[in-house]
Structure 1
Amino acid sequence: MEVSFYTSKREYLEKKSEFQQAIDKVLENGIQTLGKEVKDLEMSVEEFSGAKHAIGVASGTDALVIASDILGFKNGKEVITSPFTFLASTSCIAKHGGKPVFVDIDEETFNIDTTKIEERITKNTVGILPIHLFCQMANMDDIMKYAKEHNLYVLEDAAEAFGMKWKGNGESYRTAGTIGDMGIYSFFPTKTLGGYGDGGMVTTNSDELAELTKIFRVHGAKEKYHYDYIGYNSRLDTMQAAILLVKMKYINKAIEKRETISNWYRDRLKDIEYIKLPKVKGDQKPVYYVFNLLCEKRDELNKYLKGNGIGTNIYYPMPLHLQKCFSYLGYKEGDFPIAERTCKEILALPIYPEITEEEVDYVCKKIKDFYKK
């Protein structure tokens, strides 16, 4: 049996007529940047997330870069974040000359260990950039407490967290990307809400920050050809917005199906002593964008699964503080031992709404077969 790590083909075939109608409508109306579909998607995301403002941009990476620029994560200022993440979560700080300050991760959630944040705050710190990874959010109660006490900005990297919710102290549930000063989503094809190409969005509850984001995404111009800032060319493509609007109609069902698939995996893998499943911590509602496990003999298992037709991925094989591009920060091996160890043990299994229970059974059987050898 072949089990793809991810495929868009099944979803496309299920909803082919709706996707085609959405695409045809864009073409029939005449191609335009920031077209009606972009505005409709922004309003749909605002309604879904509870954010006051959602601004479409070209990618999740651009969303991070633009938001970091606006919040002043630059010119030598320090921003506290995690070394266990995708490059863009930290390169957005370095791009503007800011200084990433890393904190190790919680070994059970893979998110930033918030108990270690305050000790890294200095007079030069301007912000915290938490990344909500894989299936759950970082501890936003702690993060917002530190931000308030030390007058720091919070930029939530919710690229993987569309639909996740956190319940703060004495508060109702709030959606990832809407708790800090600014948040971002990625619409990369594999994401919970993914397009057929790149796309991203910035969220904020601040009228001022929203206005700046809209200006920055069109070269820094509030009025055409009148530039108040050195901005970016970063507009969410109208065609991608049209596709995403179709997917938004089914987003709650897709999230529910991901949870069902996660439960299939947990039920079938819970008794294998050689693997460890992540724990969801805090009063939150997870969304299973990625299903990860920590496993003994990870590389051998990974090779075995691929040899049996099963797609896998490793998020992430090397922490950022050991990457060549960040060598100038002066970190060394051993500085963040939990992140380093996790990179050697973590493995992601296939999970997307269209995967079948039979396929999950096959994946789990092969994992069991490997450890019986």
Structure 2
Amino acid sequence: MKLLLCLIILVFVCLTNAINININQAYRSDDHHILDNDSSMRDTFNHWVKKHSKIYKDSIEIEKRFSNFKDTMKRNIELNSIHRGNAKFEANKYSDLSEDEFSRFYLNKGFKGKPAHLRGEIKIQPTPHFSLVNGYKELDNGDLEQMYSIDWRKKGLVTKVLDQSSCGSCYIFSATEQVETAWIKAGNKPLLLSEQQALDCDPFDGQCGGGDPYTVYEYFKDAGGVSTSAQYPYTATDGVCVNMSRAVPVVSYHYVTQGGDENTLIKTIVNEGPVSICVDASTWQSYSGGVITTGCGQNIDHCVQVVGLEIDKSDPSNPIQYYIIRNSWGTDWGIEGYIYVATGSDLCGVTYESTMVDV
């Protein structure tokens, strides 16, 4: 009986692995002829549908999703070719969405363009120095002389990865994460704060239609602070504002860098901790691992949090320093909810808008 049970488990594991290999084989291949084999593609799509428990209302929607899936397959082959093994793009829960749908549901279509300090309206305020890491040498205002490695997750400054769902609220998640980090830096125990509060009550932004972390901070300050997520849970829908008690006050907020100034961004991450940034995430839909080193634009459409720096030494002759970026698409996306982007050339527009907050 035990032997039979073991055999059943072994068969199940083998079948599961076979399905996963089948789903992603085209993403790892440069052979575009795979896309021309409709029968093979249909099988791959059907396996993917089962794996992600997708339910479609009728045959018309099935064909629409199948067409989107094939388009995603093609884009991923192209992205894998461009990145030459440095980063990987594979099938995931978003693979049946068109580029337009993905942008509408998960990116920040309401981002307001140039932040205020680039228009000369607000001066960048210096951040107070933060000495959490005992014995860690603070970087001065000179040029960077080496690559740096610091992971603030390991120092307890980062709360868990969440999922914004199909609501363009990334800007609220980025801002709320930054307040959570500031609360911990101030010597308090970690708290999960409410994204729904700003989604319902922030008068400066566009709810699920998008917005800007900076104006979320402005709302939090005006409102007397932020409630906890337990008090005011996230629903991923535009709701009616509810007046809850505030758990964490927001005292001040400021920009970290001028656009294009990566040296200051890196020094701030090393000296002060995680930073809220807004980026171009238009190619991130199918990211599954590795370091983004190219093929990422400057059209800002998403907001996230940089939580550290690391160095990829897989090629000793060409080490790559990269940002560790926390996303808000759940732990089943990317590297358990994170993405790595190389430093040095303002990839994905990482310096366009970077902000911090004090509590």
Give the TM-score, by structure 1 length. 0.25
Give the TM-score, by structure 2 length. 0.26
Task: Compare CA radii of gyration and give the structure with the larger one.
Answer: 2
